[in-house]
Amino acid sequence: MSEQQSIHGIWTKRWTFVLAATGSAVGLGNIWKFPYMAGENGGGAFVLIYLCFIAAIGIPVMLAEILLGRRGRASPINSMHKLADEAQATPFWGGIGWLGAVAGMLILSFYSVVAGWAVSYVYLMASGTFTGQEAEVISGEFGNLVSDPAKLVDWHTVFIAMTVVVVANGIHKGLEMAVQLLMPLLFIMLLLLLGYSMTQEAFTDSLRFLFKVDFGKLTEEAVLSALGHSFFTLSLGMGAIMAYGAYMSRQQSLAATVVTVGVLDTLVAIVAGMVIFTIVFANGLEPGAGPSLMFQTLPIAFSQMPGGVVLGTMFFVLVVAAAWSSAISLAEPAVAWAVETLGMNRGVAALIVGVVAWVLGVACALSLNIWSDVKIFDETIFDFLDKLTTNIMLPLGGLLICIFVAWVMDRAIVRKEVDIDHPTIYKIWFFLVRFVSPVGVAVVMLNKLME
């Protein structure tokens, strides 16, 4: 196969890929999901396992996934077909692409509901609802939102519409602009919150909770959640990063990019955790509160700070932006495929993907209130979609990606494509992708299955 160009374009500047991949990776997974999962799973031990998964599985798999995209230069489905063909392997490898396109839409549905909460908090912060209120009243506000189906659906609709608009505009106008300004601002804002937390006495309790390792608290469920989350937070296993890799130029070093994205993503999650647990312990809240955690804690901090209304509003705007730049990557694999293979107009394709995710998202939103009794495998629709994608589909996608890159593809092509100059580093990476990641994922998944 000769050098290929993507029909969707190539990122214009050298580091736009880093920004776009960081935009995809950094999102609700870091600020909303990581802290509440750490809280539910007892802190330190979960955090340590999660960090190990990021380093030993997440980062190597990210390299493998980008490599597939950059070699295939097409939507994940078509890239996988081409590469399977090139390796003279069965066309069933295209299944990685299909699994991913479906997973992306499923994730987008519940992701958009949560992003909708963040949009609604922009409004709540800006209108001064929390000013001068007691901590209890502030954290109670979340219940009002979640028990109101109309509100949930409205904000969810707003967020899906935002996502469709950017995806419809394609990678240059849409994606690049959205990430360039907002990502750096989010980092600054988080550092500001970190500064605030450090002035609080409870900061040390927060550190103790996050970093004091007690393996006694670790369940099998927690290990699987940590694995699933390491894929979720780095946007791995469903082709999002593969789709972006297809727009990445040849000149760029893959390894440096991947490490940068991995480190930035982890920093954001850890800082968010340190801030949130400071507020939890300072106000006698429950670390294991679950998905409501971020929404019940951060507004308390803002209500106590000078300039809190402005800062709090800005913060939630940035959370929405981070969620937005992630959501577009969830839709991209399916949209790129429809454009390439069905010859569909990008706008129409984005709209269809948006409608599917919207309908499923409405079901998720209602499962938080009027449909809370509807159970699939004992879980609400919301939890079911979250667990199905995060704990099963993403690790499975990751596992298949590893097998394809390290066992099916031509070794010389892989060597050339990863472009790691240092032979030892290359060997370590290849070993991780060939043995450590697939075995790790398989063991964790099977363990949970045979519980």
For residue 368, count CB atoms less than 10 angstroms from its CB and return exposed for 0-12, middle for 13-18, buried for 19 or more. Answer: buried
Q: Which is nearer to ligand TRP, 238 or 365 (CB)?
A: 238
Q: Which stretch binds ligand TRP (CB under 6 A): 21-29, 60-68, 206-214, 407-415?
A: 21-29
Rounded least distance, CB 29 to ligand TRP, Å? 2
Q: Which is nearer to ligand TRP, 25 or 444 (CB)?
A: 25
Q: Which stretch binds ligand TRP (CB under 6 A): 58-66, 91-99, 191-199, 227-235?
A: 227-235
Q: Any contact of residue 24 with ligand TRP (CB under 6 A)?
A: yes
- Name residue 376's beta-bridge partners: 379
Rounded least distance, CB 23 to ligand TRP, Å? 9
Q: Any contact of residue 27 with ligand TRP (CB under 6 A)?
A: yes
Cα→Cα distances 439→307, 398, 447, Å: 51, 11, 12
Cα→Cα distances 255→118, 159, 262, 334, 393, Å: 33, 33, 11, 26, 25
Q: Any contact of residue 25 with ligand TRP (CB under 6 A)?
A: yes
Q: Any contact of residue 233 with ligand TRP (CB under 6 A)?
A: yes
- Name residue 350's beta-bridge partners: none
Q: Any contact of residue 235 with ligand TRP (CB under 6 A)?
A: yes
Q: Which positions from 239 through 258 interact with ligand TRP, judged by CB under 6 A?
A: 240
Q: Which positions from 116 through 155 interact with ligand TRP, judged by CB under 6 A?
A: none
Q: Which stretch binds ligand TRP (CB under 6 A): 7-15, 112-120, 152-160, 324-332?
A: 324-332
Angle at 269 between CA 184 and CA 393, to 5 degrees: 110
Q: Which positions from 343 through 402 interact with ligand TRP, judged by CB under 6 A?
A: 394
Q: Which is nearer to ligand TRP, 308 or 361 (CB)?
A: 361
Q: Which is nearer to ligand TRP, 259 or 413 (CB)?
A: 259
Q: Any contact of residue 62 with ligand TRP (CB under 6 A)?
A: no
Backbone phi, psi, residue 415, to 5°: -60, -45
Position among 18, 19, 20, 28 found at the interface with ligand TRP (CB under 6 A): 28
Q: Any contact of residue 29 with ligand TRP (CB under 6 A)?
A: yes
CA dist 43 and 37 (Å) reads 8
CA dist 87 and 54 (Å) reads 29
For residue 260, count CB atoms less than 10 angstroms from its CB and return exposed for 0-12, middle for 13-18, buried for 19 or more. Answer: middle
Q: Which is nearer to ligand TRP, 69 or 308 (CB)?
A: 69
Position among 46, 130, 232, 316 found at the interface with ligand TRP (CB under 6 A): 232
CA dist 281 and 201 (Å) reads 9
CB atoms within 10 A of CB 189: 17
Q: Which is nearer to ligand TRP, 45 or 330 (CB)?
A: 330
Position among 297, 329, 380, 391 found at the interface with ligand TRP (CB under 6 A): 329
Q: Which stretch binds ligand TRP (CB under 6 A): 20-28, 347-355, 366-374, 433-441?
A: 20-28
Q: Which is nearer to ligand TRP, 238 or 301 (CB)?
A: 238
Position among 41, 109, 326, 380 found at the interface with ligand TRP (CB under 6 A): 326
CA dist 370 and 178 (Å) reads 35
Q: Any contact of residue 182 with ligand TRP (CB under 6 A)?
A: no
Q: Which positions from 391 through 410 interact with ligand TRP, judged by CB under 6 A?
A: 394
Question: Closest Cα to residue 401, out of 437, 445, 355, 376?
Answer: 437
Position among 107, 222, 268, 335 found at the interface with ligand TRP (CB under 6 A): 107
Task: Find out whether 384 and 225 touch, Cβ atoms under 8 Å.
Answer: no
Position among 30, 109, 225, 303 found at the interface with ligand TRP (CB under 6 A): 30
Q: Which is nearer to ligand TRP, 297 or 325 (CB)?
A: 325
In 234-307, alpha helices (H) = 240-245, 254-282, 293-304
Give the residue at shortest CB distance from ligand TRP: 29
Q: Any contact of residue 238 with ligand TRP (CB under 6 A)?
A: yes
3-state secondary structure 307-322: CHHHHHHHHHHHHHHH
Rounded least distance, CB 230 to ligand TRP, Å? 10
In 283-392, alpha helices (H) = 293-304, 308-342, 346-366, 381-387
Question: Closest Cα to residue 41, out of 387, 392, 391, 287?
Answer: 287
Residue 379, classed as helix, strand or coil, is strand
Task: Find out whether 6 and 246 touch, Cβ atoms under 8 Å.
Answer: yes
Q: Any contact of residue 270 with ligand TRP (CB under 6 A)?
A: no
Binding site for ligand TRP (CB under 6 A): 24-25, 27-30, 107, 232-233, 235, 238, 240, 326, 329-330, 394
